[in-house]
Amino acid sequence: MDKKKYKVAIVGCGGIGHAHMEGYNKVEEVEVIACCDPVPSAVEYYKKEFNIPHGFNDIDEMLRVAKPEIISICVWHLLHDEITIKVANYESVKGIICEKPMAIGVEKARSMVNACEENDVKLAISHQRRFTPGWIKAKELVENGEIGIPNRAELRVKDGLLNWGTHSIDGARYILGDPKPVWVVGAVERYTNKYERDTAIEDSCIGLIHFEKDLQFFIQSDLMDNEADAGKFEIYGTEGFLKITETEVKIFNSSSNGWKDVHIDLEDGDVAIGGNTNAAQTRELINWIEGGNKHRGAGDIAAETVEIMMGIYESARQNRLIKFPMQEKGYPLEEMIKEGKLELESKEKYDIRGFLNRENIDEDLYSKLRDDGLSHHEAMKTVHDQN
Ligand SMILES: NC(=O)c1ccc[n+]([C@@H]2O[C@H](COP(=O)([O-])OP(=O)(O)OC[C@H]3O[C@@H](n4cnc5c(N)ncnc54)[C@H](O)[C@@H]3O)[C@@H](O)[C@H]2O)c1
């Protein structure tokens, strides 16, 4: 018997759109019928690359004509809330996978969850690493009591708290059963006019996050380049420790005889981004749409991670410990900038992902580099470097 085919559309034909397609290509129950991007050349290349029948430059037209049931939102952060709310209100849509960071501000994240709930649309945020074998194994070990009662996690990230930090905070929360945050203390520095995919970010920051049952995470961002990694962290418990990546786990406890590699059955495509990971994320969304369990990366869980990150900024803004739920619903870093609390050494604005800007690039060079085997991001970087 034929499995039901969900009609899928992709919004944003850039880098992460490729990982979503890798996932969809492994799932029988879906058929990607449309893609959309305001940049015509982006649509054309992506359509050809993945053999997608319909391409659009306007999202309303895509919704009207293609009537997708599942939508991947693969655009920059500041557009996540607006586009999620728009598509959630479209009648054919049953499920959404929106990229991380979910939104820049607590109110925006909540409005995405509300719009989806009101329209009975299932919203998953692409914290896809929750489906990697390393993180799943670590969760199993914690639940089996292998490290006793967990009390601390150490996270080190870079390229902005919102960009990588969202994965790490989300990952440690996943492994520890999505604990509820109680308060946070943060420190932030921003002395250069730094942006990441159009969003103002800090030069560096730290945060101490306190959860129920005296569990704490310490996160540092852009302070330890060599050690920084979105998917790599340690969890400590009363009876042992874990070192975790998406594909490897090491344990130290009373029976491990020092650090021991935990055996994990890895398959081809078990990667942090794309492959089996994005496929599993899609299958769980379909199961949720069909009445199964809530998705492990559901919007309300990701909204809590947004609040934790906003709390770190708000703590620095107020020089106070911030209790949850927090009062500030916007983007505290931006508020601090407006309030003149973060003095710049130079006003020159720069974006660490500015090379991804697809407008007015040398399209012939881009196509040649892609045809030669470079990934989207590699090709975009080369094109911008040669400008
Ligand atoms: N989950 C992960 O591990 C992971 C990894 C990388 C990026 N991301 C996230 O994915 C998002 C996109 O990042 P990227 O690296 O793919 O960026 P990108 O620049 O490579 O792609 C974004 C695309 O969106 C298009 N776009 C802009 N406005 C649009 C609109 N209104 N409608 C449709 N398309 C529009 C752009 O033209 C561009 O082609 C970001 O929020 C980023 O944080 C997540």
d(CA 297, CA 303): 10
pLDDT band at 328 (very low <50, low <70, confident <90, very high): very high
**Number of H helices and number of E strands within the chain?**
12, 18
Q: What is the mean pLDDT of residues 198-217?
A: 98
Residue 55, CB-side half-sphere exposure with 13 Å CA sphere: 18
Q: Is the pLDDT of residue 90 over 70?
A: yes
Name, in order, each residue with C-beta under 8 angstroms of 20's C-beta and a sequence gap of 6 or more.
Answer: 10, 72, 74, 97, 126, 278
**Entry pTM:** 0.97
Reported as a single tens digit per residue, the pLDDT across 338-370 is: 999 999 999 999 999 999 998 889 999 999 999
Ligand 1 binding pocket mutation candidate from 63, 74, 306, 352 (most atoms within 8 A of CB): 74
Phi/psi of residue 221, nearest 5 degrees: -125, 130
Would you list the domain boundaries of the chain?
6-129+272-298, 132-268+304-323, 354-385
Would you call 192 helix, strand, or coil by DSSP?
strand
Q: Which CATH class for the 132-268+304-323 domain?
A: alpha beta
Q: Is the pLDDT of residue 4 over 90?
A: no
Q: Which CATH class for the 6-129+272-298 domain?
A: alpha beta
Residue from 233, 234, 230 nearest 222 by CA:
230
Work out the percent of the chain whose per-residue pLDDT is above 70.
99
d(CA 177, CA 24): 27
Token pair recorded at residue 100: 């991380």
Reported as a single tens digit per residue, the pLDDT across 130-160 is: 999 999 999 999 999 999 999 999 999 999 9
pLDDT band at 303 (very low <50, low <70, confident <90, very high): very high
Within 6 A (CB) of ligand 1 lie 11-17, 36-39, 42, 59, 74-77, 79, 99-100, 126, 128, 163, 197, 273, 356, 358, 376
For residues 3 and 345, the model is more confident at: 345
Reported as a single tens digit per residue, the pLDDT across 12-68 is: 999 999 999 999 999 999 999 999 999 999 999 999 999 999 999 999 999 999 999
Q: How high is the pLDDT of residue 118? A: 98
Reported as a single tens digit per residue, the pLDDT across 275-288 is: 999 999 999 999 99
- Average pLDDT taken over every residue of the chain: 97
**Cβ-contact 122, 149 below 8 angstroms:** no
Q: How high is the pLDDT of residue 2? A: 63
**Cβ-contact 148, 237 below 8 angstroms:** yes
Gap from CA of 321 to ligand 1 centroid (Å): 33
Would you call 26 helix, strand, or coil by DSSP?
coil
Reported as a single tens digit per residue, the pLDDT across 106-132 is: 999 999 999 999 999 999 999 999 999
**Cβ-contact 242, 251 below 8 angstroms:** yes
Gap from CA of 75 to ligand 1 centroid (Å): 3
DSSP 76-108: -GGGHHHHHHHHHTSTT--EEEEPSS--SSHHH
Reported as a single tens digit per residue, the pLDDT across 181-190 is: 999 999 999 9
Write out the H or E segment, with its range, that includes residue 83.
helix 80-88
**CA dist 371 to 43, 128, 362, 365, 376, Å?**
16, 28, 14, 10, 10
Q: Which ligand 1 atom lies nearest to the CA of residue 230?
A: 3
Q: Is the pLDDT of residue 380 over 90?
A: yes
**Cβ-contact 101, 163 below 8 angstroms:** yes
**CA 143 to chain CA centroid, nearest Å:** 24
d(CA 170, CA 301): 9
d(CA 331, CA 384): 30
Residue 155, CB-side half-sphere exposure with 13 Å CA sphere: 27
d(CA 344, CA 363): 36
Would you call 15 helix, strand, or coil by DSSP?
helix
Work out the percent of the chain whose per-residue pLDDT is above 90.
97
